[in-house]
A and B are shown apart, each in its own frame.
Chain A
């Protein structure tokens, strides 16, 4: 199918200011979309209130509106510019919510604006959890048991049915604001109140907790000819209970059996079809029970997301760019892959390396806040690294974070040197480390290392953290390697002349670094 010629001008909504849960990944997606659609000859109208974005540079759109992203002001822009279509999938939840409001208020109909990328019905099926659960049931897939409640009493009735822990997820909030996992009735009442207040529609999901299950994501794309490709699988090192944005994640998924992975792929295809995303990308989250492999569908984002930015960078497959092309009628087999130029976008990416992403938090700026990680995202940024193995990528990612760490410990920043501890200190440290690991916290990865140095086994650590044993074995191997390295010493402290010096222009010596 060639591109649509009935459309001439397209309005793109950006994500607005950087907030926790919605960062510059949407500048990346929006910039790509603007670029591609203009290359295709469309008149691009953009609205975004964030001046620090590349996409709001006047060269990237025909008309750039630095106006508040609210239905009122976007409505004014529509009234003035009369675009043929609105692409709402590039600007995160902000853009999607605004587009839904404009559609429901009749503004889009009044001015004859077509939603492209995701239709209203598909957005609603994906975003409204009741509809989503129903759709999943219809295609034979399971979701966690849950109810939407609009009052504390309704919430209490649900809790009696399923017991604790329960996850609270307020509807239509960014990064899960107002949500959390609760373990007691007391806590539950307070948090449900908070969640209802946070939700713009005064509604929250209360859900059976799958805390401790393994968490996965698939990035999926579909076109008008019903071609579906899986771009990338992402596995969360931290199990369910920690927001994906706050988890260490790895691509591709490492711990699934082939059978489990194939089942997940098939499910993803069924989901994107059932939800009805026809021209674009989606992100689908899965939970897998580590004991029996039972798989649940957690949620789906019918738009470009933080994970799609990650998947694009991890694979080289530009999801936002391709999604923009799909939205104007191209099909996956018609779009060339811009890295190879030979293969079409309908070729699924293959990767022969490992990618690790680690979030970065800024808790020290907010005295008194709870730094335990949960279903509400708290990180303010992230770093990613490539390696041929998980171990290499993990250590590179840790030093990419720029928090003074140069890998998984052994960099002079550790809280203790194992060789210098006596038995009593070891016992006390072990206690501290175990207590620490019982709760997900920002730099628990370093505590896993301490635990292994202190003689804890992978099985013990799995019981405490529910982090898959495969990851724990990798941490163990890094620790063992460190021990092995300690058996070596430099041949001599001084080098004779004639050793190859730096290969940089003009450099004769290696002065002290940093």
Chain B
């Protein structure tokens, strides 16, 4: 073996090897490679993206790192802040976070800081060199971010705007002496660590669904039995609800544990009480350590169990008691202050039988920040960035709790058209790629426009197919079915649903399920005899039907509604379309109405 020389180290870096890879090859850790690079003076230089291969002087500081001589970067003596972007888009981490990053940049420019962006996603506004004082187009890994911090020496780094990507770096950046602006990494950890978070909620007397952590199948069964089915199960430390499932009985739990995950003491399984039929809410807020600005309260149109990113939401909760809304806001304020949040916080809650439960707290930018900001006319991300560098909400003079005047709806869009074999039914795992918004004076208009904007065609007449699971055969379904009948729709339903509706005097035609005979619902769809589908399947038995109905409907480009609450919203939307009151209005006009209140 040869001793490592400066030459070989430099050559490795020129070949693009990361400190991590070198640490692996040389059986040490990343920190030692970094130390070795400093010792041997193998440090990156920063070149400029200047359109002209350095032939003319560049005025725009847009840089990338490499291992050569001659750094082209100019370090100013201004006070500066680095904002870490969100990296490549993926399901669960998309454009919303880029929006927040760019707003951070705008706000800090207003506060007199030099703004420095680090990101590696070419699609975004944040990597437009025009938007920031300085742009480093670099991977968001500890090595690259530290390399930049070492030369720029910023006052601090903002990690809470770009989603999970920069957040994951917070602790190690802090351990390397970089100041993290906003909520402290330790408090972020309180929110993310189940044990610490549970203790906090207990201390604050905030209700939380029962839960437990299992390191074996037997333990999982014991926990589930003690907290009661249904339970939500998932591996610990997964994002975006990956491999998360709702199980209703011990058999399903065993099936899940065997098929989906390898449980072990190193890979525990989280078991939570699932609040069936609960209503879910999101609250986005900004806290400066003293005051809390409630940005907005969003009600999910889909009930609990569907990933918040996949659920349609309405801002200005519908038919919700004032007490519940006040409780949501109160818990948000309590938690924000207890976590000493400096900047954004998102609280996810559920309400069942009048009790509000806190499910999750994220002391960072959430997916709904841009939507709430636009609906309310309050730039939350900008306000949060200013708070992070020490401004108070009082100084900024923003109202702390504003009532919405219009109704805004957020509707997700899904890539099912691209993946014909994927299940079209929603669950705890997020699968939407994007969303649309609508804003209007009535819920019906907002829902209709959201549906249309998301590419779904709401039919104004024709036939609606209804097939629901036993849990859904209730008063809400009757109301929905009556609504469609009043609008002049005919109803086609499968066995159980058909009988249930007839019992309640709602006229309908029975249709076969796919494996029951012909003509089945799929034949009806293919013939063009169905114009809208309401299907809420549950359990393994209906899986075959799900796929067949789902793909037939996709092919025919028919809207599929998979929850009763969304169906109820659709009734209102169709009513609005039929009334032909349609008009358009700009955001500026809506915001004027808000501020002139």
Interface residues of A (CB under 8 A from B): 16-20, 23-25, 27-28, 31-32, 35, 45, 49-54, 56-58, 62-70, 73, 76-77, 80, 175, 177, 194, 197-198, 306, 309-310, 313-318, 321, 337-343, 347, 349-353, 357, 360, 362, 364-370, 376-378, 380-389, 391-397, 399-402, 406-412, 477-478, 481-482, 484-491, 493, 495, 499-508, 510-514
Interface size on B, residues (CB 8 A): 136
Q: A350-B52, A388-B14, A504-B177 are in contact. Are A66 and B439 (CB under 8 A)?
A: yes
Main secondary structure of the interface of A (DSSP, over half): loop
Instruction: Report how far A36 CA is from B59 CA in the complex, Å.
Output: 19
- Given the complex, which residues of A lie within 8 Å of B60, measured CB to CB? 316, 338-339
Least distance between B398 CB and chain A CB atoms (Å): 16
- Given the complex, which residues of B lie within 8 Å of A69, measured CB to CB? 453
Tell me whether A365 and B17 are in contact (CB under 8 A).
no
Tell me whether A52 and B52 are in contact (CB under 8 A).
no
* B36 CB–A CB distance under 8 Å: yes
Tell me whether B584 and A80 are in contact (CB under 8 A).
yes
Tell me whether B94 and A488 are in contact (CB under 8 A).
no
Instruction: Report how far A511 CA is from B174 CA in the complex, Å.
Output: 10
- Given the complex, which residues of B lie within 8 Å of A315, measured CB to CB? 49, 51
Residue of B nearest to A348 (CB): B51
Tell me whether B99 and A54 are in contact (CB under 8 A).
yes
Partner of A502, one of B5, B22, B53, B150: B150
Q: Please, could you name 30 A-B residue pairs with CB atoms under 8 Å apart, sorted by A? A: A16-B453, A17-B434, A23-B123, A24-B95, A24-B125, A27-B125, A28-B124, A50-B435, A52-B435, A73-B452, A197-B556, A313-B49, A339-B60, A365-B430, A365-B431, A369-B419, A380-B415, A383-B87, A389-B15, A395-B16, A407-B17, A482-B17, A489-B3, A499-B35, A502-B146, A503-B151, A504-B149, A504-B150, A510-B35, A510-B176
Instruction: Report how far A65 CA is from B440 CA in the complex, Å.
Output: 11
Least distance between B22 CB and chain A CB atoms (Å): 7
Interface centre among A28, A484, A487 (most CB of B within 10 A): A28
Q: A24-B125, A67-B449, A514-B30 are in contact. Are A381 and B90 (CB under 8 A)?
A: yes
Partner of A512, one of B31, B67, B103: B31
* B110 CB–A CB distance under 8 Å: no
Instruction: Report how far A385 CA is from B64 CA in the complex, Å.
Output: 8
Tell me whether B123 and A316 are in contact (CB under 8 A).
no
- Given the complex, which residues of B lie within 8 Å of A350, measured CB to CB? 51-53, 55
Instruction: Report how far A58 CA is from B106 CA in the complex, Å.
Output: 14
Q: A51-B437, A310-B122 are in contact. Are A386 and B582 (CB under 8 A)?
A: no
Partner of B122, one of A62, A64, A357, A507: A357
Instruction: Report how far A324 CA is from B301 CA in the complex, Å.
Output: 40
Residue of B nearest to A411 (CB): B21
Interface centre among A57, A65, A367, A397 (most CB of B within 10 A): A57
Tell me whether A481 and B12 are in contact (CB under 8 A).
yes
Instruction: Report how far A505 CA is from B428 CA in the complex, Å.
Output: 43
Q: A50-B95, A392-B66 are in contact. List 7 more A-B contacts (CB 8 A).
A: A18-B89, A66-B437, A340-B58, A400-B87, A481-B17, A501-B38, A502-B146
* B377 CB–A CB distance under 8 Å: yes
In B19-68, which residues have CB < 8 Å from any A CB? 20-22, 24-32, 34-36, 38-39, 47, 49-60, 62, 64-68
* B88 CB–A CB distance under 8 Å: yes
| Nearest 9 pairs of A and B residues by beta carbon | A507-B177, A18-B434, A395-B16, A381-B89, A386-B64, A51-B437, A68-B453, A392-B16, A17-B434
Partner of B435, one of A51, A349, A376: A51
Tell me whether A387 and B177 are in contact (CB under 8 A).
no
Tell me whether A396 and B16 are in contact (CB under 8 A).
yes
Tell me whether B139 and A383 are in contact (CB under 8 A).
yes
- Given the complex, which residues of A lie within 8 Å of B30, measured CB to CB? 513-514
- Given the complex, which residues of B lie within 8 Å of A352, measured CB to CB? 53-54
Interface centre among A360, A385, A486, A491 (most CB of B within 10 A): A385
Instruction: Report how far A381 CA is from B49 CA in the complex, Å.
Output: 23
Tell me whether A504 and B18 are in contact (CB under 8 A).
no
Tell me whether B50 and A76 are in contact (CB under 8 A).
no
Instruction: Report how far A353 CA is from B53 CA in the complex, Å.
Output: 8
Instruction: Report how far A448 CA is from B359 CA in the complex, Å.
Output: 44
Tell me whether B29 and A513 are in contact (CB under 8 A).
yes
* B591 CB–A CB distance under 8 Å: yes
* B469 CB–A CB distance under 8 Å: no
Tell me whether B51 and A411 are in contact (CB under 8 A).
no
* B393-405 interface bits toward A, Cβ cutoff 8 Å, 1 = contact, 0 = none: 0000000000000
Instruction: Report how far A25 CA is from B126 CA in the complex, Å.
Output: 11
Tell me whether A52 and B99 are in contact (CB under 8 A).
yes
- Given the complex, which residues of A lie within 8 Å of B375, measured CB to CB? 51
- Given the complex, which residues of B lie within 8 Å of A18, measured CB to CB? 89, 94-95, 413, 433-435
* B92-129 interface bits toward A, Cβ cutoff 8 Å, 1 = contact, 0 = none: 00111011001100000000000000001111110111
